[in-house]
Chains A and B, each alone.
Chain A
Amino acid sequence: MGKAYVITSGKGGVGKTTSSANIGTALAMMGKKVCLLDLDIGLRNLDVVLGLDNRIMYDIVDVATGKAKLAQALVKDKRFDDLLYLLPAAQNTDKTALNEGQVVEIVDELKPDFDYVLIDCPAGIEQGFLNAIAGADSAIIVTTPEISAVRDADRVVGILEQHPLKEEPHLIINRIRTHMMKDGTVMDIDEITHHLGVELLGIVFDDDKVISTSNQGEPIVLDTDNPAGQGYRDIARRITGESVPLMEMKDESKPTFWEKVSGWFKNK
């Protein structure tokens, strides 16, 4: 029996979809069977980030309303042999097209066949959010070091405390810019974790490549050298129960001696 995680944040644009795609891909790379559920109905993106947008036949609303069978609607990622699937959101309707009961039914049908079901939650705390948390066993809250994102995460933690899931929520701090944290211009990791009172699952550094790779439909975790990809791979390992130390913040503005030396050779 698999486990369902909802990836949520309250605020939009902090990286819920990117995190869903990358954690799902990283888990598949580890040999786990993963189903990604896009609940951002009307504004679906997860298919694009995964590069699966041109393979969609049916969507989650078709499944909920009985127009299609669940197996028909699942889109298989061919990069991973039978390990990574996506249940896409509908694009021609809105969040009210589904209710909590329908989502619970779909998630319950998926859980026996998969190790992990990751639910990509839409921004906001309306029906779409309620649908997304209804089927989940645990929540992964994504925030960035920005105050507005932390405030919204706080709101979401509050709502989750009032409607508790089976397990305590986890926290991902995304888009960390090392120099800003070191300057103290943004909240640091300890401050955010302490303030929200949620267990830290992992941190992800801000990196231009996250955007460029997602534009090509290739999650950043596939790039083995990238620090952001490393962050997501660590998160996936922690989800499977491994204990992985937190990545250290390297000051990108001041390269180490050996980085300087190798830099000289690269330039020539």
Chain B
Amino acid sequence: MPEAAVLKGTKDGYEIILNDKAEYDEIFKSLTKLLDNLKTQTASTTPQKIAFEIQTQRRLFNAQERSEIEQIFSKYSDFSIHKINSDVVTKEESAQIIDQKTVHVIDRVIRNGQEVNVTGDVLFLGKVHEGGKLLVTGNLYVIGEVKGIIQAGFPNVEDKMIFGDVHNAQQIRIGEQFEILDDTKSADKINSSSIAYVNALHVLDYGNVEDLNQINPKFFNQIGGIING
């Protein structure tokens, strides 16, 4: 019978793998034994603090089980938990991830007084009337007509962008930065190939799709799905 808790060195540090076939009691026992051994070993050399990554394989620990592991670690002053990882996620969590990664296509009229909140990116084909609000946690790609208030990176993420012709909008918001287009001359700068983004000085700025790799290199490199590129 292999040990329920096994230490493994990785390029990022140390990892403790908790066997997903083992009983919980067995895991906690085995983990204590492992840490005891480690303590005596490290005590002989120079004492140093070590943060471990816990890998639970195909098992999800609930809050109580996590706190039990944390308790075991709290007995060792030199050891701590860096994070607890697992190879699996709950359906709920995966649905959230899918939501965040999906580009949602929205084709409706958002009228005066209406507020539409979306998790993830949005390809907007509809209309936002004056007084309507479209608040998106991700990026916002606008093909439709915007005369109301739009926000990307809702409520406070500043590395999101708004693409497209939004020069008729009342307000453009990204994260916590906003611009009232009536007060500025920005509307003249915006056309169908515009990008609204927050620059390095935390100021809302406008650029062109051609310059996307300079405006947001991370996003540019991330764009996937190309088959023969």
Contacts and interface: CB of A to CB of B under 8 A. Distances in A.
A12 to B, nearest CB: 16
Question: Max chain B CB contacts within 10 Å: which of A157, A158, A159, A161?
Answer: A158
Nearest to A10: B112
A151 B114 CA distance: 12
A210 to B, nearest CB: 27
Majority DSSP secondary structure for residues of A touching B: helix
Contacts of A152: 112
Contacts, number: 25
B109 A155 contact: no
Contacts of B205: none
Interface residues of A, number: 10
B111 A161 contact: yes
Majority DSSP secondary structure for residues of B touching A: loop
Contacts of B112: 151-152, 154-155, 158
Interface in A123-164: 151-152, 154-155, 157-159, 161
A195 B130 CA distance: 10
A101 interface: no
21 contacts: A151-B112, A151-B130, A151-B131, A152-B112, A154-B111, A154-B112, A154-B129, A154-B131, A155-B111, A155-B113, A157-B111, A158-B109, A158-B111, A158-B112, A158-B113, A158-B114, A159-B113, A161-B109, A161-B111, A195-B129, A197-B109
Interface of B: 109, 111-114, 129-132
A197 B108 CA distance: 11
Contacts of B130: 151, 154
Contacts of B131: 151, 154-155
A191 to B, nearest CB: 12
Nearest to A158: B111
Contacts of A157: 111
Contacts of B109: 158, 161, 197
A85 B129 CA distance: 39
